[in-house]
């Protein structure tokens, strides 16, 4: 099974955006959080450290203040280096306001496994973004895209509406 990490770039994040890191840490094999805010954002650092200590261990959750050196590309490079140093084989890239369905990492691991069985395919040879996820949510079993994990459909949302219409 592919070891799949998540990389999040922060830039003056809100408390709500910092709260979203919990799901990424829970569902990925490793999480790197790179604070690209020019001056270290102590509240973000402490929230990420608390997340690491509370639920996922220091080795799985990495925090780095990057200070916008080299822009967003520099931040991504710093995060990728940290994750690959931990032995992560593939990385999903996010910014601070990204959210993914609960099934995202399982489906990405499946995609990595399929690539590994195709002649000539190699890791990193695919790009799956929000548009792909929107299309695929309609094909997921009911509740699979519920980020709370309780199986209850989320209010609103096009995918929920499509599934509801399909059941009628």
Q: What is the pLDDT of residues 32-52, one digit of tens each?
A: 999 988 887 787 778 777 877
Q: Compute the distance between CA of residue 58 and CA of residue 132 in angstroms, rounded to an integer.
A: 32
Tokens of 122: 């190699």
pLDDT tens digit string along 76-103?
A: 999 999 999 988 989 999 989 888 888 9
pTM of the model: 0.67
Question: Could you tell me the pLDDT band of residue 165, with boundaries at 50, 70 and 90?
Answer: very low
- Which position has the higher pLDDT, 89 or 125? 89
Q: Compute the distance between CA of residue 78 and CA of residue 107 in angstroms, rounded to an integer.
A: 26
Instruction: State how far the alpha carbon of 149 is from the alpha carbons of 32, 63, 120, 142, in Å.
Output: 23, 26, 36, 11
Q: Which of 137, 133, 114, 135 is nearest to 125 (CA)?
A: 114
Residue 137, pLDDT score: 55
What is the SS3 assignment for 30? strand
Mean pLDDT for the stretch of residues 139-145: 54
CATH architecture of 4-100: Alpha-Beta Complex (3.90)
- Which position has the higher pLDDT, 117 or 163? 117
| Averaged pLDDT score across all residues of the chain | 74
Give the DSSP letter of residue 93.
Answer: E
For residue 31, count other CB atoms closer than 10 A to its CB.
Answer: 28
- Structural domain spans, the chain: 4-100, 134-167
Give the DSSP letter of residue 168.
Answer: -
């Amino acid at each position: 099974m592919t070891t799949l990490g998540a990389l999040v770039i922060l830039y003056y994040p809100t408390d709500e955006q910092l709260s979203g890191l919990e799901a990424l840490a829970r569902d990925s094999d490793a999480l790197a959080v790179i604070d690209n805010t020019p001056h270290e954002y102590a509240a973000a650092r402490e929230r990420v450290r608390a997340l690491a200590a509370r639920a996922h261990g220091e080795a799985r959750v990495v925090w780095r203040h990057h200070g916008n050196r080299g822009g967003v590309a520099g931040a991504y490079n710093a995060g990728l280096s940290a994750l690959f140093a931990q032995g992560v084989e593939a990385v999903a890239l996010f910014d601070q306001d990204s959210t993914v369905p609960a099934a995202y990492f399982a489906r990405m691991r499946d995609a990595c496994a399929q690539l590994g069985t195709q002649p000539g395919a190699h890791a990193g040879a695919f790009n799956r973004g929000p548009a792909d996820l929107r299309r695929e949510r309609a094909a997921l079993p009911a509740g699979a895209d519920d980020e709370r994990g309780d199986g209850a459909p989320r209010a609103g949302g096009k995918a929920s509406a499509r599934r509801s219409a399909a059941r009628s």
